[in-house]
């Protein structure tokens, strides 16, 4: 979906892609396509193909565009031109498409909400790298250096902490860079996947840096000095011995920042030798830890905003598509002719079942509809 998005500024996927007899990308998209692209981003995070920062950027961009697109009674039309985002004629509300998008948005809302309490680092990152390397191996078979990258990922034990993961990815990125330099100009497909792998490494490193601004400093030396100066060790050792969630990082405001402030205050009033150098040193680390806590707070807030917005966008009224006499949903509504389709969805196994499920759960239609 990422590669076939015909409008890079919007990031919406096309409805279909034709390979034979020639490559053709459809210049239209639907609410179902948009909903699936949003869930694809969420799934990509779970599978290790996309950073949370990338998910936030792509989701925010999609929501911004969704809010600008023309709608009817809270529903998006069933087809839009991906180049202009104008609805295609005839203007039509599809029960299936609206139900799918609403269901996808509600699922996305829950998934984004859970990211705040999940660990910042997941071993899925390494699985994602390995999947990409194996794709490179399959699309361009032979001894081209890909096996060496696969060996590094397969043989090495997966990092268990965010700190170790950062160091591993940083080292692996350099291996990928060296590999890309050996690719011949004619190997365009291999070069494409090599650059994809490199970009994935960069994205994860940037994501970790944004949350842990101290991560490239001499942390072991900091722990040693802190221990010598009788500072509180519990919180700071957790950062390298465990993988915190965003919510846990916020708690470090008390565990780490407060204890460092106490140490700094003691140095300021104690008249110790070399206290000036120590104060500068610890104040620098305190600034980094405060920035870490603030970054976690900001990300939690962004996730809450996106989760809430997904729920709001899913707030479509399905009652006007429901035929009370038949106790069934109409296929859709022709806006231009102001009429409902004569046909209805009358099978539980129909493609409109998600719409039925949501409408019943919201109390918009009676439970009896499910058994029609």
- Residue-wise pLDDT for 260-302, tens only, equals 898 888 888 876 666 788 889 889 999 999 999 999 999 999 9
83 pLDDT higher than 80: yes
Q: The tokens 């949501």 sit on which residue?
A: 358
Q: What is the pLDDT of residue 67?
A: 94
What residues contact residue 14 under an 8 Å CB cut-off, 6+ apart?
Answer: 4, 5, 6, 25, 26, 27, 28, 29, 33, 82
Rounded CA-CA distance 330/344 in Å is 4
User: What's the whole-number average pLDDT of the chain?
Assistant: 89
Q: What is the pLDDT of residue 94?
A: 97
Tens of pLDDT, residues 344-368: 988 766 788 999 999 999 999 999 9
Residue 340 C-alpha from the chain's centroid:
38
Q: Is 17 helix (H, G, I), strand (E, B) or coil?
A: strand
Asked which of 7-11, 26-30, 128-132, 297-301 is least confident by mean pLDDT, the reply is: 7-11
pTM: 0.90
Give the residue-averaged pLDDT of 94-107: 97
Model confidence at 1, pLDDT cuts 50, 70, 90, reads: low
User: Residue 101 burial by CB count (10 A; 0-12/13-18/19+): exposed, middle or buried?
Assistant: buried
Model confidence at 236, pLDDT cuts 50, 70, 90, reads: confident
């Amino acid at each position: 979906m990422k590669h076939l998005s015909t409008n890079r500024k919007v990031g919406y996927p096309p409805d279909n892609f034709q390979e034979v007899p020639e490559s053709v990308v459809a210049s239209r998209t639907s609410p179902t396509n948009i909903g699936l692209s949003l869930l694809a981003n969420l799934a990509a995070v779970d599978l290790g193909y996309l950073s949370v920062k990338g998910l936030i950027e792509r989701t925010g961009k999609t929501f911004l565009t969704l809010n600008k697109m023309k709608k009817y009674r809270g529903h998006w039309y069933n087809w839009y031109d991906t180049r202009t985002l104008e609805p295609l004629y005839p203007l039509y509300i599809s029960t299936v498409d609206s139900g799918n998008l609403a269901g996808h948005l509600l699922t996305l809302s829950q998934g984004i909400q859970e990211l705040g309490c999940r660990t910042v680092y997941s071993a899925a990152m390494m699985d994602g790298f390995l999947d990409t390397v194996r794709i490179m191996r399959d699309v361009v078979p032979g001894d081209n250096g890909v096996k060496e990258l696969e060996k590094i990922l397969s043989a090495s034990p997966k990092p268990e902490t965010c700190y170790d993961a950062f160091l591993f990815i940083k080292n692996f990125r350099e291996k990928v860079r060296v590999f890309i330099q050996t690719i011949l100009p004619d190997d365009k497909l291999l070069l494409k996947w090599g650059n994809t792998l490199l970009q994935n490494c960069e994205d994860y490193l940037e994501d970790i840096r944004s949350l842990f601004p101290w991560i490239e400093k001499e942390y072991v030396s900091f722990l040693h000095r802190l221990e010598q100066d009788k500072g509180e060790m519990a919180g700071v050792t957790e950062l390298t011995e465990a993988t915190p969630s965003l919510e846990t990082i916020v708690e470090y405001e008390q565990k780490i920042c407060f204890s460092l402030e106490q140490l700094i205050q003691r140095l300021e009033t104690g008249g110790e030798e070399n206290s000036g150098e120590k104060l500068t040193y610890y104040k620098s680390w305190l600034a980094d830890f405060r920035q870490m806590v603030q970054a976690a707070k900001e990300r939690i807030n962004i996730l809450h905003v996106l989760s809430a917005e997904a729920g709001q966008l899913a707030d479509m009224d399905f009652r006007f598509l429901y035929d009370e006499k038949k106790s069934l949903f109409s296929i859709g509504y022709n806006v231009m002719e102001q009429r409902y389709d004569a046909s209805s969805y009358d099978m539980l196994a129909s493609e409109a079942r998600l719409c039925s499920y949501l409408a019943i759960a919201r109390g918009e239609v009676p439970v009896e509809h499910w058994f029609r």
